Homo-oligomer: A and B are copies of this chain.
């Protein structure tokens, strides 16, 4: 058996820590970079080094920002509604719709006791403070429709109850383009419960 190359192992070890990259992809990527001119690996290295230097969390909503406030928080044309999301990636999904014109609040995850993530590990205290300070009319809970996302939404609903703010949850239902035949039962039940009057 061939002995290991330390410089290669170092790259493989770091790559394998990334999400969506297993040992095989890590090897493919490392071999690919070794076949390319050194400048390719160096450009990636430089971009990675600059990542944390240039980008920090928005001090108000914890979205990614190049300044103290992110571009959404510093846009005075935004409505006061606060949409609570798990991660910055969720903001992109909502912004891409072009249908939401309010602000965001990034929790940084969901309550997941099995993974050792409690309310104090999320930006929940900061959310309550913001609501007190900014006094929005509406808060939309847009955590995922997973067990943990639901539990977090319920937990927040309870916390927000004494506050003078209307709390919403994104609608459950059948995805656009789907058919009843192929939907899972739980989704059909929720779609029935949430049925909308058309006349």
| Chain copies in the assembled complex | 2
A44–B51 CB distance below 8 A? no
Looking at chain A, what size class is its interface with the partner chain? 35 or more
- Residues of chain B lying within 8 A (CB to CB) of residue A3: 71
A27–B89 CB distance below 8 A? yes
Interface string of A90-106 (1 = CB under 8 A from B): 01100110100000000
Instruction: Kindly state whether residue A18 has any CB partner on chain B within 8 Å.
Output: yes
Closest 6 CB pairs of A and B: A7-B54, A38-B52, A45-B45, A14-B44, A10-B47, A45-B48
Could you give 11 example pairs across A and B, Cβ below 8 Å?
A: A2-B91, A7-B55, A10-B50, A11-B47, A19-B32, A20-B21, A20-B28, A31-B89, A34-B52, A44-B48, A45-B48
What is the interface of chain A, defined by CB distance below 8 A to chain B?
A: 1-3, 5-8, 10-11, 13-15, 17-21, 25, 27-35, 38, 40-55, 63-66, 70-72, 87-89, 91-92, 95-96, 98, 108
